[in-house]
Amino acid sequence: MRPGPWIRPLTAFALLGVAGCVAPPPPKAWLEVDVARGLAPEPGEARPARVEVVMDVTPSMAAATRGKSSNLDAARAGAAQLLRSIPPDVPATLVAFGATGAACDASLLVLGPESGRPAVLALRAEELTPAAEASLASTLDSVATALAAEKVAERTRVVVFTDLVAQCGGDPCAAGEKLLATGATLDLVVLGDGSVPACLRSPVLPSGLPASVSRRTDTDPVSFRLVAAPAGPAREPTDGVAGERPVRVDAGPATVELALTPPLDVPVVLPAGTLLRLRVIDFPGASPPVRDWLVETAAPPADASQAASPP
């Protein structure tokens, strides 16, 4: 039987379909994006510094030394002098231990914070009288806890007037380190002949991310999208995240759109069988803002599993 007249077009169509199925796929490339960012712009007005004056008002401080005045007299004078030197816009707090409560019960007398009235605190400092022995260590611990809870530690200067005579136990080293770890600074004014613990002479000084930097650090990952170049062939958009594994994409011209502020579009040509690495530096908080990028090529990932597939 001779084939019908319709068989030729059908065969041609089938051949075309087979050809389409076995045609080589478009060449592939890999894309990796890294973004290193600086500080975000200043979020607002800087908050003022604070001062916390801590006075040891324990009975041991009141014992006269050198046959003249006592360490308490010196503490009163020194604290008052400091408080009167504080600018009016700086909030100040006066903390006294040993001025109230029973012996070693860790009660603190806290006056302030006061803004614009440091002279009032100075007068109060001059009038403090001893009531009972108390612990410097627990006082520093309490101050550290309070400053951390109020989230003001990193801008607080703590000054302690003390003879360092330990009466009620506690670990001044641990308390000092706790206070420093909050971000506060500590000035220890030692009166009399008290010996400074070695740990306070060679303290473990804090390092690590300070709160002021943390507030201006954007740790959210930067996302990007690979789209067709304006004059290039069509391509399906591919999404990715900077800093993650390379993404396997079609080779050819394209544009990488980075979700920065303001957005950044980088034209690229993805060579077939190659890893293209886009490295971006972004410092939006610099004056003026700085943005720079570099396109590098490298061998593709040896293991296909190292490359992420586009969703």
Partner 1 sequence: MRLRGLGKRFSLALCAALFAAPEAWADCEPWPGEPSPLPTSASSDEMTAHFAHLRADELAALALQLEPLAPGDAYRVWLHVACLDPQRDDAREGVNRIAPLRVHAPEVVHQPGEATAAAPDLDSAFGRLDNPISVALPTRVANAAARPVAGSPARSSLAPQPPRAAPEESPLVADGLLDEAEGLVRQAHFEEALKKAAKAREAVPRTGDPAALRQRRARADVIAGTAQVALGKDADARATFERAIQTDPSLRLDRANTSPKVVRAFDAARAAASGDAP
Site for partner 1 in 58-117 (CB under 8 A): 66, 68-70, 73-74, 76-78, 80-82, 84-88, 90
Q: Does 292 bind partner 1 (CB under 8 A)?
A: yes
* CA-to-CA separations, 203 to 65, 154, 178, 184, 197, in angstroms, rounded: 29, 18, 11, 14, 10
Q: Does 206 bind partner 1 (CB under 8 A)?
A: yes
Q: Does 134 bind partner 1 (CB under 8 A)?
A: no
Q: Which segment (44-52, 131-139, 166-174, 245-253) binds partner 1 by CB under 8 A?
A: 44-52
Nearer to partner 1, 12 or 123 (CB): 123
Least Å from the CB of residue 270 to partner 1: 20
Say which residues have a Cβ less than 8 Å from residue 1's Cβ, sequence separation at least 6: none
Q: Does 198 bind partner 1 (CB under 8 A)?
A: no
User: For 81-203, where are the E strands, in sequence order?
Assistant: 92-97, 108-114, 156-162, 185-190
Instruction: Determine the distance from the C-alpha atom of residue 74 to the mean position of all C-alpha atoms in its chain, rounded to a whole number.
Output: 39
Q: Does 194 bind partner 1 (CB under 8 A)?
A: yes
Tell me the chain's radius of gyration from C-alpha atoms: 35
Site for partner 1 in 9-28 (CB under 8 A): none
CB-CB contact of 48 with 89 (8 Å) = yes
Instruction: Determine the distance from the C-alpha atom of residue 176 to the mean position of all C-alpha atoms in its chain, rounded to a whole number.
Output: 22
Q: Does 283 bind partner 1 (CB under 8 A)?
A: yes
Nearer to partner 1, 212 or 309 (CB): 212
Q: Does 124 bind partner 1 (CB under 8 A)?
A: no
Q: Does 201 bind partner 1 (CB under 8 A)?
A: yes
Nearer to partner 1, 58 or 107 (CB): 58
Distance separating alpha carbons of residues 4 and 243, to the nearest angstrom: 62
